[in-house]
Structure 1
Amino acid sequence: MEVRYATNPAATKTYDSETLRSEFLIENLFVPGQLNLVYSHVDRFITGGVIPTAEPIKLEADKREMGADFFLERREIGIINVGPKGSVTVDGTEYELDTKDGLYIGLGNKEVIFKSADAANPARFYLSSTPAHKNYPTVKIALSEAESEHLGSITSSNERVIHRYIHLNGVQSCQLVMGMTLLKPGNMWNTMPCHTHNRRSEVYFYFDMPEDGLVFHLMGEPSETRHLVVRNEQAVISPSWSIHSGVGTNNYTFIWAMAGENQVFHDMDMVAPKDLR
């Protein structure tokens, strides 16, 4: 498990591109036959990716970093399959996940096993985990069952559909809020006008991008913006004080996960474009 420590805005505005990437960008989540995890001290997020091939892969706790006997001893987790069909078995109960289906698993579940339906065409499970204080039921969320909202327009290049999987009006959790945004063809901007939410942090995971596609992810304080060049299946850790917006070379999809003081999706401190620097 890789560990990332939290940083502050005063230090961040002095970073060069290499330092920004090493602090905030997660580049190599998906490796066939492996489970890769990054532990961030920003709201204690754990972000991960797993591609089970010939053999199933079990979710294990890193005892040194987590101080736990099993991964969900004091945590909850949200999972979205961004690849072909697969399944997640939770304490003996199997949940089949098609492309873009999600799964919430609550605190206290001891065994989580990932498996692909076809080892030659494996599933790709994206994971986001946060600390938890009580157990909520394990729930599968099919893409068709997620709460959906159509936003934006082609004239501002941000027509998109937001799918909310884990949220106050849907699948319940202790603090994790998780969903997915799909940009329509011909649209490249996300979360613009942008915002911050000093009461919670966020992790963005970009995918459904062509091999030569990229996103310029905007971050930093509104008066001290920076950017990260992000490619397919890479994630960005976004501290509470940072904007989190971006523009791509083509349309793309991203998964967002939030944690912090509350779970109110629309609790945002909006930033007018004229105030960005």
Structure 2
Amino acid sequence: MQIRQATSPREAKTFDTEQLRQEFLIENLMSGPAFTWVYTHYDRMLIGGLVPGTAAVTLPTYDALKSNFFLQRRELGVINVGGKGVITADGTDYSLEKLDCLYLSRGTKDVSFRSSDGSQSARFYLISTPAHAEHPTTLMKAKDSTVVELGSKEACNERTIYQYIHENGVKSCQLVMGLTVLAPGSIWNTMPCHTHDRRMEAYFYYDVAEDARVFHFMGEPSETRHMVLKNEEAIISPPWSIHSGAGTKNYSFIWAMGGENQSFTDMDAVAMKDLR
């Protein structure tokens, strides 16, 4: 488990490209049948990835958590972006096809992950936040999520948003999670952009073509910066930062938030004229 400290905007504006990437970019999340975790001190979110085989991989605890088991004081959201997989939580099996989401309650002790087919591995993206109460472990299929169509072809940002864990969907303590799929010919996400000082956010870009890249924009609205990402890389977005991107082709991404509230529409819009 890698620990990332919080960085102030005053520090961030002095970083070169390599420093920006070291602080905010998460590479090699889907590196194989062992968990990869990054613990960020922004709202103490954990960002992880796992590509299991057909043998079950058990979720361990870590010394950094100082807990008896991983979910003793935490909740966990998982979205599968690969082949069919199974998550077993305290003896109950949950089958996840591509884009299905599972919320795991605080207090869940025994959790394991496996792929249903060794030739098409599941690819589990995981987000965990601190939890103060227990909500039911819940599986939400992509087709049952709240679906919102946004953007337009003219603005090159036609996209479909799938909301899973949020105030009007799967219940949680503070975790908010869903994904966005851009239509062919569209490249922009979250533009016009915004900030929300009440909560941090993480983006995980997936289904990015091998010969494509996503230019992710961050920073204060008056001091924007960018990083270039390839498929299955994630970005930590501080509460003070915008979070937006443009791809050389259409792509998809998972968004997840943790912090003071769960209102999806709680955002401080930034006018185009104010971006620098």
Which residue number in structure 2 is paired with residue 108 of structure 1?
107
> In 2, distance between residues paired with 1:192 and 1:122?
33
CA offset digits 1:9-68 (Å, max 9, x no partner): 0000000000000000001101222111111111101000001114211111112x1111
Which residue number in structure 1 is paired with residue 209 of structure 2?
210
Residue 179 of structure 1, CA deviation? 0.3
Which residue number in structure 2 is paired with residue 19 of structure 1?
19
Moved more, 156-165 or 52-61: 52-61
| TM-score (ref. length: structure 2) | 0.99
Residue 117 of structure 1, CA deviation? 0.4
CA offset digits 1:168-208 (Å, max 9, x no partner): 00100000000000000000000000000001100000001
Which residue number in structure 1 is paired with residue 188 of structure 2?
189
After superposition, where does 1:255-270 map in structure 2 within 5 Å? 255-270=254-269
Paired residue secondary structure (1:224)? coil
Paired residue secondary structure (1:221)? coil
Percentage of identical aligned residues: 57
Structure 1 residue identity aligned to 2:264: F
Identify if the C-alpha distance between structure 1 residues 98 and 54 changes in structure 2 by more than 3 Å, giving closer, same or farther. closer
The answer to whether the aligner puts 1:55 opposite 2:91 as a matched pair is: no
Which residue number in structure 1 is paired with residue 271 of structure 2?
272
> In 2, distance between residues paired with 1:254 and 1:19?
23
Paired residue secondary structure (1:10)? helix
CA offset digits 1:63-110 (Å, max 9, x no partner): 2x1111111000001000000000000000000000110000010000
> In 2, distance between residues paired with 1:75 and 1:270?
31
Moved more, 54-63 or 92-101: 54-63
Q: Which runs of 5+ in 1 are unaligned?
A: none
> In 2, distance between residues paired with 1:218 and 1:203?
13
Which residue number in structure 2 is paired with residue 253 of structure 1?
252
After superposition, where does 1:148-163 map in structure 2 within 5 Å? 148-163=147-162
> In 1, distance between residues paired with 2:215 and 2:245?
5
Residue 121 of structure 1, CA deviation? 1.8
Asked if the contact 1:203–1:258 (Cα under 8 Å) also holds between the matched residues in 2, the reply is yes
Structure 1 residue identity aligned to 2:153: I
> In 1, distance between residues paired with 2:211 and 2:45?
29
> In 1, distance between residues paired with 2:15 and 2:256?
25
> In 2, distance between residues paired with 1:201 and 1:272?
20
Structure 2 residue identity aligned to 1:190: N
Paired residue secondary structure (1:254)? strand
CA offset digits 1:229-269 (Å, max 9, x no partner): 11100000000000000100000000000011100110100
| TM-score (ref. length: structure 1) | 0.99
> In 1, distance between residues paired with 2:123 and 2:54?
14
Residue 213 of structure 1, CA deviation? 1.1
> In 1, distance between residues paired with 2:51 and 2:38?
16
Which residue number in structure 1 is paired with residue 131 of structure 2?
132
Which residue number in structure 1 is paired with residue 178 of structure 2?
179
Q: Which runs of 5+ in 2 are unaligned?
A: none
Asked if the contact 1:76–1:105 (Cα under 8 Å) also holds between the matched residues in 2, the reply is yes
Which residue number in structure 2 is paired with residue 35 of structure 1?
35
> In 2, distance between residues paired with 1:30 and 1:255?
14
Asked if the contact 1:33–1:54 (Cα under 8 Å) also holds between the matched residues in 2, the reply is no
CA offset digits 1:119-139 (Å, max 9, x no partner): 232100000000000110000
Moved more, 46-55 or 14-23: 46-55
> In 1, distance between residues paired with 2:169 and 2:198?
21
Which residue number in structure 2 is paired with residue 73 of structure 1?
72
> In 2, distance between residues paired with 1:249 and 1:37?
28
